[in-house]
Amino acid sequence: MANRVLIIATDGFEQSELTGPRDALNKAGIETVVASPEAGEIKGWQHTDWGDPVKVDQTLDEVDAESFDALVLPGGQMNPDVLRMNEKAVALVRSFAQAGKPVAAICHGPWLLVEADLVQGRRVTSWPSIRTDLRNAGADVVDQEVVVDGNLITSRKPDDIPAFSEAVIKAVKEQVAAVAAA
């Protein structure tokens, strides 16, 4: 089976935070699947206006953690704020974490980690405006381009995408190797 990563997003995702990691993963030979609450397309946000649409491969109701090696949560302010209110999205985040699979969140994406109760005692980073939320949920918040704490991978902003993508690719390869060795 090919290495597979699920990307969960909805309208208002930060354009580069979905397409940058997706393209890097695909280039590394890792299949990506974009899932959203609704079928069709989702619209990105690029800086100060709407960005390009991205095709939704499957709805959240059609995916499960067992079919993937890792999860990526793009940021943007609107996207994770909507998704953290979606019980299926939060349950998927939690199921990836409980299975020990890599869960990677960038910018405002860690809001979903808070909602899934995954940051207590964990070292993370994020966009500055949600750091208080992370601290209030018990996280040790730092200001670094990428933080890996066990199976959690977090980054701050679009400038961090290369380091974020590299950390996700490394984690997926390690996850696949661990499963193969078991």
User: Structural domain boundaries of the chain?
Assistant: 4-181
Interatomic CA distance for residues 63 and 158, integer angstroms: 27
For residue 54, give the nearest of 93, 23, 82 by alpha carbon.
23
Interatomic CA distance for residues 23 and 52, integer angstroms: 15
162 contact partners, CB below 8 Å, separation of at least 6: 20, 24
| Residue 154 pLDDT | 98
CATH topology of domain 4-181: Rossmann fold (3.40.50)
Active site residues: 108
Burial (0-12, 13-18, 19+ Cβ within 10 Å), 143: exposed
Instruction: Give per-residue pLDDT as tens, 81-121.
Output: 999 999 999 999 999 999 999 999 999 999 999 999 999 99
Which pair of tokens denotes residue 86?
A: 């979606």
Which pair of tokens denotes residue 25?
A: 């993963």
Q: 3-class DSSP state for residue 140? A: strand
pTM for this entry:
0.97
Instruction: Give per-residue pLDDT as tens, 4-63.
Output: 999 999 999 999 999 999 999 999 999 999 999 999 999 999 988 999 999 999 999 999
Phi-psi region of 55 (alpha: psi -120 to 50; beta: other; left: phi over 0): beta
Instruction: For CA atoms 174, 26, 8, 145, give the dihedral sign.
Output: positive
% of the chain residues with pLDDT over 90: 93
User: In the chain, how long is the greatest CA-to-CA distance?
Assistant: 47
